[in-house]
Amino acid sequence: MYVKNINIYKKKPIVIFLMGPTACGKSHLAIYLRKYLPIELISVDSTLIYRGMDIGTDKPNFSDLSSHPHRLLNIKDPIEQYSAAEFQKDVLKEIDDIIKLGKIPCLVGGTMFYYNTLLHGLSILPPSNIKIREFLLQNSHDKNFLHKKLELIDPISASRIHKNDFQRLLRALEVFYLSGKSLTELKEHNNYQLPYNIFQFAIMPPDKEWLNNKIERRVKKMLILGFQKEVEILFLRGDLHINLPSIRSIGYRQMWEYLEYKNSYQEMFNKIIYATRKLAKHQLTWLKKWKNLNKILYHPIPDILVQNILNILKKK
């Protein structure tokens, strides 16, 4: 039964963002919210796009997806790459399709750069160049080489990109070598604006200890559900390698290294937890600086979270 007194169009069509750090129950809440609002779900996650990568990405199960389909899920093979520009193009099409159905697009996920790209757009950037990327990687003797180089060329972008986010570091450097201008310079000339009434929500953890414990329980659950077998299937394909964005993602990279006998099982387990906690910290850093954000403290009873969201929608 849908809630009354919420005009889904108002002056502009409503679009909902449901963000938050990993392990805070965003997907579960989005599914629950469908009981109260005529929403269609769009995944905003750079790992959920890959087919055959289900356990390690905590993808909604088959039953949930059958009843509550997520758009932009399982759209790529792990050997393929997917840029923020492709996401922007794809998500705008999905949003438009949902609005034409008379429903509310609800974007759910934790890839903050994708949300940022959708909100602020991308400048017209040169296409990717594999030769430049190979040159940069071959000369990356120091693990912080790419970040240090970007600090010299584009300190503003360097301050926004984590030193271990190789994909974004490579892209920022690549843009400079191809265009002669920094990513920051190109973005300054962007007059992009979305034609929607956007409501942005973030599910926030009660405290750091709660989040750390939740992450550890999730990793243990992944392993119980057969995460090692899932990665072994990818490993034995023969056409995938650890430098692909799919395999570099958290969990898959660490398990891949375990299968290559580079780590013990305990080291692999500890590294996944450490990397996931770093991701959560990075997501929280994004959210602290995020404008026009409605922060909602996590609660184990979904009705309470839903009521908070509905109250904000009704007021505005």
CATH number for the domain spanning 142: value is 1.10.20.140
26 marked as part of a ligand binding site: yes
Residues 161 and 47 both lie in one domain: no
52 marked as part of a ligand binding site: no
- Residue 4 clears pLDDT 90, i.e. is over it: no
- Residue 316 clears pLDDT 80, i.e. is over it: no
Residue 84 lies inside a defined structural domain of this protein: yes
Residues 279 and 178 both lie in one domain: no
- Percent of the chain residues past pLDDT 70, beyond the cut: 96
158 marked as part of a ligand binding site: no
Q: What is the pLDDT of residue 9?
A: 54
Range scoring the smallest mean pLDDT among 190-199, 274-283, 284-293:
190-199
Residue 8 lies inside a defined structural domain of this protein: no
182 marked as part of a ligand binding site: no
Of the pLDDT bands very low, low, confident and very high (cuts 50, 70, 90), residue 130 is confident
How many structural domains comprise the chain? 2
84 marked as part of a ligand binding site: no
Residue 170 lies inside a defined structural domain of this protein: yes
Residues 95 and 228 both lie in one domain: yes
Q: What is the pLDDT of residue 135?
A: 86
> Average of pLDDT values for 171-175?
92
Q: Which of 146, 170, 187 is the last residue of a domain?
A: 187
Residues 113 and 21 both lie in one domain: yes
- Residue 97 clears pLDDT 90, i.e. is over it: yes
- Percent of the chain residues past pLDDT 90, beyond the cut: 80
Transcribe the chain into DSSP letters: ---SS--SSTTS-EEEEEE--TTS-HHHHHHHHTTTS-EEEEE--TTTTBTT--TTTTPPPHHHHHHS-EETSS-B-TTS---HHHHHHHHHHHHHHHHHTT-EEEEE-S-HHHHHHHHH-----PPP-HHHHHHHHHT--STTHHHHHHHHH-HHHHHHS-TT-HHHHHHHHHHHHHHSS-HHHHHTT-----SSEEEEEEEE-S-HHHHHHHHHHHHHHHHHHTHHHHHHHHHTTSS--TTSHHHHSTTHHHHHHHHTTSS-HHHHHHHHHHHHHHHHHHHHHHHHH-SSEEEEE--SSHHHHHHHHHHHHHH-
44-96 pLDDT, tens digit each: 999 999 999 999 999 999 999 999 999 999 999 999 999 998 999 999 999 99
Residues 293 and 232 both lie in one domain: yes
Q: Which of 148, 171, 187 is the last residue of a domain?
A: 187
Residue 235 lies inside a defined structural domain of this protein: yes
This prediction's pTM = 0.82
Residues 86 and 136 both lie in one domain: no
Residues 78 and 166 both lie in one domain: no
Q: What is the pLDDT of residue 301?
A: 96
Q: What is the pLDDT of residue 136?
A: 86
Q: Which of 187, 207, 223 is the last residue of a domain?
A: 187
Of the pLDDT bands very low, low, confident and very high (cuts 50, 70, 90), residue 126 is confident
Residues 117 and 216 both lie in one domain: yes
251 marked as part of a ligand binding site: no
- Residue 10 clears pLDDT 70, i.e. is over it: no
What does the mean pLDDT of the chain come to? 93
Residue 4 lies inside a defined structural domain of this protein: no
Residues 143 and 112 both lie in one domain: no
Residues 286 and 203 both lie in one domain: yes
Give the residue numbers spanning the domain of 310.
14-121+192-315
